[in-house]
């Protein structure tokens, strides 16, 4: 068994059994769900960051749009859970197509700056459009609906474990899709752009269009995470699409190891557990989260899996 | 009505002056060191809190002089030990590190001075309106504009006429060559970083007198500063200044006709600029990447 395969099996077993061991180590089911949701968000970001080499610092916008779209479709149109998620991710993907087209010529630190700034538009819309989005207080007064699959009706409303496994199934589908995409000719060309953009251009690749595509794919997946996030809390507020959320996604990816496929998931698990632990003990938890950023950058820039394994799939 | 418009244009100009002061500092650091200083808003808040702490001892004027210098000194220490090792590496790490610093500074100021906003008293004689028709023209606001103008022209004078400024400008074009010609580029970057932080600290002291003092005072200013840089044009400090004032006035005017779009309008402007003129209003060709 290769190291990469071993890691795959480890991740699958750990995730499938998480609700059972999470309570044993002092967590709770919703925390396990949060790990999976944030893991999906960080892995989606890493599709762009780690596998295309493009630094987006504005992914919270699409995360939040996915969440708001889902929440609003349930609240105002009485949609079921799955159709509502489709509304959310369609909204976010559309926004990503438009904004991606505007920013795709930027590189490096400038790309980051433009994505951060554009992300704030949606924050201010959510913050200011009180009648529809609930403004600063967020959008409450709705809840996820039980899953109607035609042949069966699964209660994910009250049963937290059932909801966890629903999230896990969505996660698995997304992760498999991303792994396939990375292994596809498109994914290989994205890695080529990451490694040497000029050489990739000389090979005749349309760099701008591919980065645009990668950006949209990445935002599509992160919006699914956002939809699940809203469903998990039965609530969403503007902080879900503010720039600090984007920064959290990036640190998750870096902390776990952005050159590896599963790295961001590990990063997300550490980040979620750490935030939960620190914020339950001190009011000044932001200081410690900030300290984590600084320490990771100074002493651990390659991330957890970057140190343990040299990239299972990259 | 015309008075209302004038009022909002003037308000926008003041806010724009803050954006510009922030954005100039960010731009200086970005151009020479390739680091987006996300903690710039934190340094702005620190400048304001330092002034708050110093006013009982030095008075407003003393604090106005000393607080930005203290902020810049702290910036120099942080640059030396945390940011300098990242120069030349992936820009991702500079961004993440300053992002973490922003968290730490915000929570640190909260811890020391409390989360609630504090009274910040500018001299009383400055706060009264100069004329009853134009109630918004307080002395403090004119004073603020004067100080910003002074700081900006001082900065441009240093960049244009001193050896240091010429080296900074040369370094933004080609740091390697500047280094080969025998300039200590580490020192150059440090001094330049200090300048940028000084401007943030100064903006903080001025902003506290106008907007009140709270740990999140820099939060609302940092994003528009990014927009100012992009709209004005990367690599052009004049563009940055112009961009800051422009988006300030634009959001001031928007607040008359469509108050809830006050913040969003500047991002729409940024989108338009990127669509029509990707390098920004005064940006130089070929500095995009």
Distance of alpha carbon A23 from alpha carbon A15, whole angstroms: 14
Tens-place pLDDT, residues B81-104: 999 999 888 888 999 999 999 999
What's the average pLDDT block by block, 10 residues per block, for chain A (314 residues)? 80 90 86 96 96 92 96 93 95 95 84 87 88 88 83 81 94 96 94 91 91 96 97 93 92 92 95 91 88 91 74 44
Domain ranges of chain B: 2-217
Look up the pTM and report it: 0.90
The verdict on A132 touching B (C-beta cutoff 8 Å) is: no
Residue A131 falls inside a structural domain: yes
Q: How confident is the model at residue B289 (pLDDT cuts 50, 70, 90)?
A: very low
Residues in chain B with CB shorter than 8 Å from the CB of A124 are 263-264, 267
Predicted local distance difference test score (pLDDT) of residue B188: 93
Residue A313 falls inside a structural domain: no
| Pairs of CB atoms within 8 A across A/B | 127
Best residue in A286, A288, A299 for a mutation probing chain B (most B CBs within 10 Å): A286
Distance of alpha carbon B96 from alpha carbon B35, whole angstroms: 10
Residue A299 falls inside a structural domain: yes
Closest residue in chain B to residue A255, using alpha carbons only: B96
The verdict on A298 touching B (C-beta cutoff 8 Å) is: yes
Residues in chain B with CB shorter than 8 Å from the CB of A116 are 223, 226
Please give the biggest Cα pair distance in chain A. 56
Best residue in B100, B229, B262, B273 for a mutation probing chain A (most A CBs within 10 Å): B100
CATH number at residue A63: 1.10.3470
Distance of alpha carbon A268 from alpha carbon B154, whole angstroms: 46
Distance of alpha carbon B148 from alpha carbon B15, whole angstroms: 11
Q: Least CB-CB distance to B100: which of A105, A124, A293?
A: A293
How far, in whole angstroms, is CA B5 from its chain's centroid?
26
Judge contact between B281 and B38, C-beta under 8 A. no
Distance of alpha carbon A265 from alpha carbon B66, whole angstroms: 47
Tens-place pLDDT, residues B106-146: 999 999 998 888 887 777 677 666 666 666 677 788 888 89
Model ipTM value: 0.87
Q: Which residues contact B72 (CB under 8 A, 6 or more apart)?
A: B194, B195, B197, B198, B201
Stretch B220-246: mean pLDDT: 90
Q: What is the DSSP string of B93-157?
A: HHHHHHHHHHHHHHHHHHHHH-SS-B-----HHHHSBS-STTTT-BHHHHHHHHHHHHHHHHHHH
Question: Do residue A247 and residue B30 have CB atoms under 8 angstroms apart?
Answer: no
E-assigned strand segments in B139-274:
none
Distance of alpha carbon A280 from alpha carbon A161, whole angstroms: 23
Domain boundaries, position A292: 3-308
The verdict on B101 touching A (C-beta cutoff 8 Å) is: yes
Residue A162 falls inside a structural domain: yes
The verdict on A26 touching B (C-beta cutoff 8 Å) is: no
Question: Element (H or E) spanning A148, and its range?
Answer: strand A147-148
Residues in chain B with CB shorter than 8 Å from the CB of A297 are 86, 93, 96-97, 100
Work out how many domains chain A is built from and give that number.
1
Q: How confident is the model at residue B214 (pLDDT cuts 50, 70, 90)?
A: confident
Predicted local distance difference test score (pLDDT) of residue A158: 83
Residue A314 falls inside a structural domain: no
Per-residue burial over B20-52, b = 16 or more CB atoms within 10 Å of its CB, e = otherwise? bbbbbbbbbbbbbbbbbbbbbbbbbbbbbbbbb
Predicted local distance difference test score (pLDDT) of residue B1: 66
Judge contact between A247 and A112, C-beta under 8 A. no
Closest residue in chain B to residue A302, using alpha carbons only: B93
In chain A, residues 105-124 whose CB comes closer than 8 Å to chain B: 105-110, 112-114, 116-118, 120-121, 124
Distance of alpha carbon A303 from alpha carbon A268, whole angstroms: 12
Whether the predicted pLDDT of B224 surpasses 70: yes
Q: How many CB atoms lie within 10 A of CB B170?
A: 16
Q: Residue B282: name the closest of B224, B228, B221 by CA.
A: B228
């Amino acid at each position: 068994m290769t190291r990469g395969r071993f890691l795959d099996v480890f991740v699958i077993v750990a995730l499938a059994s998480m609700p059972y061991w999470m309570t044993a180590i002092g967590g709770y089911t919703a925390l396990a769900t949060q790990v999976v949701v944030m893991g999906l968000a960080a892995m989606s970001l890493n599709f762009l960051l780690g596998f295309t080499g493009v630094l987006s610092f504005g992914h919270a916008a699409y995360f939040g749009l996915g969440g708001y779209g889902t929440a609003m479709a349930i609240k105002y149109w009485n949609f079921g859970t799955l159709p509502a998620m489709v509304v959310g991710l369609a909204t976010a993907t559309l926004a990503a197509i438009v904004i991606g087209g505007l920013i795709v010529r930027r590189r490096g630190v400038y790309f980051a700056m433009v994505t951060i700034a554009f992300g704030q538009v949606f924050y201010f819309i959510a913050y200011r459009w009180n009648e529809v989005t609930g403004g600063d207080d967020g959008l409450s007064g709705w809840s996820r609906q039980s899953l109607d699959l035609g042949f069966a009706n699964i209660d994910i409303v009250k049963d937290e474990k059932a909801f966890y496994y629903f999230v896990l199934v969505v996660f698995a589908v997304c992760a498999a899709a991303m792994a396939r995409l990375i292994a596809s000719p498109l994914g290989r060309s994205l890695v080529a752009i990451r490694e040497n953009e000029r050489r990739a251009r000389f090979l005749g690749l349309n760099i701008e269009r591919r980065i645009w595509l990668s950006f949209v794919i990445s935002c599509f997946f992160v919006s699914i995470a956002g939809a699940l996030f809203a469903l998990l809390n039965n609530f969403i507020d503007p902080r879900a699409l503010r720039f600090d959320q984007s920064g959290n996604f990036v640190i998750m990816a870096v902390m776990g190891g952005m050159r590896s496929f599963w790295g961001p998931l590990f990063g997300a698990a550490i980040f979620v557990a750490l935030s939960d632990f620190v914020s339950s003990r001190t009011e000044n938890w932001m200081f410690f989260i900030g300290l984590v950023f600084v320490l990771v950058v100074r002493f651990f820039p390659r991330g957890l899996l970057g140190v343990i394994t040299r990239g299972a799939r990259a | 009505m015309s008075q209302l418009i004038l009022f909002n244009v003037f308000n926008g100009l003041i806010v724009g002056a803050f954006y510009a002061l922030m954005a100039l500092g960010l731009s200086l650091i970005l151009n020479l060191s390739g680091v987006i200083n996300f903690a710039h808003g934190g340094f702005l808040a620190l400048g304001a809190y330092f002034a708050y702490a110093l006013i009982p001892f030095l008075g407003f004027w003393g604090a106005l002089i000393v607080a930005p210098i203290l902020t810049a000194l702290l910036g120099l220490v942080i640059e030396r030990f945390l940011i300098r090792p990242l120069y030349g590496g992936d820009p991702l790490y500079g961004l993440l590190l300053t992002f973490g610093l922003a968290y730490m500074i915000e929570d640190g100021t909260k811890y020391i001075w409390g989360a609630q906003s504090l009274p910040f008293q500018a001299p009383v004689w400055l706060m009264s309106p100069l004329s009853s028709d134009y109630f918004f023209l307080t002395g403090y606001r004119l004073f603020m504009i004067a100080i910003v103008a002074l700081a900006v022209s001082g900065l441009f004078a240093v960049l244009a006429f001193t050896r240091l400024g010429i080296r900074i400008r040369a370094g933004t074009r080609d740091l390697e060559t500047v280094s080969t010609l025998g300039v200590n580029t580490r020192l150059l970057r440090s001094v330049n970083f200090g300048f940028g932080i000084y401007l943030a600290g100064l903006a903080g002291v001025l902003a506290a007198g106008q907007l009140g003092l709270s740990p999140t005072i820099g939060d609302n200013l940092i994003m528009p500063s990014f927009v100012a840089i992009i709209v004005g044009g990367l690599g052009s400090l004049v563009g940055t200044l112009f961009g800051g004032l422009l988006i300030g006035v634009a959001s001031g005017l928007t607040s008359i006709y469509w108050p809830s779009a006050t913040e969003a309008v500047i991002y729409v402007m940024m989108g338009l600029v990127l669509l029509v003129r990707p390098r920004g209003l005064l940006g130089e060709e070929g500095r995009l990447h």
